[in-house]
Amino acid sequence: MTYTRRDAAKFALAAMPAMRALAAPNSRINGVQIGVITYSFRPLEDIDQLVRTIAQLGISEVELMFNAVEAFAGAPGAARGGTPQEQAARAENLRKWRLATSMDRFKPVRQKFDSAGIDLALLCFNMRDGNSDEEIDYAFRMAQTLGVRAITTSTTVTMSKRIAAVADRYKMLVGYHGHDQTSDPNEFATLESYGKAFEYSKYNGLNLDIGHFTASNYDAVAFIKEHHARITNLHLKDRKKNHGPNVPWGIGDTPLKDVLRLLKLEKYSFPGNIELEYPIPAGSDAATEVGKCLKYCEQALG
């Protein structure tokens, strides 16, 4: 049987996932570390599946969501909905579990990523106003156990003052994740909200989501140049201005290529993490779309 050049190309493409699985992941592209937040693969929370998926994509740095860590350790299920009383009861059960759980239960998580050649660099632990001071401390102890260099969190400006005191004690950076609710002064969305958090502690930093930042009609490139010392990481996505929707990369208003080239030019040490939020097309899946985003980064930085 004879094969055409087109057949050979097909076989090579089919073999790529297996070849990547054998090689150590490496998504540092011309000096710029590209990573991924595991939220991109939602609702997947199984640690072993996450490790396999990320390794097969060739991504070498990860921002791990706290719910995956807690699920691995046997936390009570996080069912949604129900009456306010049912929701409060679930929150209380989770709080009790957190305060009673040994940090030893989280140690294998780090080992799994290390074994796959993936740097577990950041823990995303969302701390809201309803969380107790003991739960904030628990989040930092989890981060310390996992050996990450910083915590990222979606929270409020008032909460960042409470978090700051714990960050000072642990001497650990916190990257506050911004959204685009610019009408609410207690949300991380405006330049003033970021500045307020910076005042509370030298460990209060920023997980700058350049998609939400653009949707808020701000200039991501200029902001990164001015505040790069405070940035723990970027979230990479594409959105339209004026609070527009998330869209596939390259058709929105976010200056993705300009930001990536800035990271390359200035040799900033923080990563750009892929956060998949645009609707997944029919016939595709999250891993495939994250792979497309990675390819976009490779082309922009090539």
CATH number reported for the structural domain that contains residue 289 in this entry: 3.20.20.150
Q: Indicate whether 140 belongs to any domain.
A: yes
Percent of the chain's residues with pLDDT above 90: 87
Residue 77: pLDDT band (50, 70, 90) is: confident
Q: Please list, in sequence order, all residues whose beta carbon lies within 8 angstroms of the beta carbon of residue 29, skipping any fewer than 6 positions away.
A: 297, 298, 301, 302
User: Is residue 60 a part of any domain in this protein?
Assistant: yes
What pLDDT does residue 272 have? 98
* Nearest one of 234, 235, 240, 273 to 254, comparing CA atoms: 240
Q: What is the DSSP letter of 187?
A: B
Predicted confidence (pLDDT) at residue 1 exceeds the cutoff of 50:
no
Q: Average of pLDDT values for 150-173?
A: 98
Q: Is the confidence at residue 71, as pLDDT, over 90?
A: yes
Of residues 48, 35, 71, 293, the one with CA closest to residue 148: 35
d(CA 228, CA 269): 9
Task: Specify burial of residue 163 (Cβ count, 10 A radius: 0-12, 13-18, 19+).
Answer: buried
223-228, Cβ contacts within 8 angstroms, sequence gap of 24 or more: 223/191, 224/259, 224/262, 224/268, 225/262, 225/266, 227/194, 228/266, 228/268, 228/270
pLDDT at res. 22: 58
Report H helices in 45-83: 47-57, 66-72
Specify if 284 maps to a domain: yes
Distance from C-alpha of 83 to C-alpha of 138, rounded to nearest angstrom: 27
Summarize pLDDT for 238-293 with one digit per residue, the tens: 999 999 999 999 999 999 999 999 999 999 999 999 999 999 999 999 999 999 99
Position 16 in a domain: no
pLDDT in tens, 9-59: 343 344 445 444 458 999 999 999 999 999 999 999 999 999 999 999 999
Place of tokens 């990222």: 152
**Total domains in the fold of the chain:** 1
Q: Which domain holds residue 294?
A: 25-301
Domain assignment present for residue 6? The answer is no
- Give a yes or no: residue 248 inside a domain: yes
For range 171-175, the mean pLDDT? 98
If we measure between CA atoms, which residue out of 102, 89, 117 comes closest to residue 22? 117
258 assigned to some structural domain: yes
- Cα 211 from chain centre: 13
**Which residue in this structure is represented by tokens 């997947």?**
44
Q: What is the mean pLDDT of the chain?
A: 92
Residue 77 gets which letter from DSSP?
A: P
Q: Decide if pLDDT at 135 tops 90.
A: yes
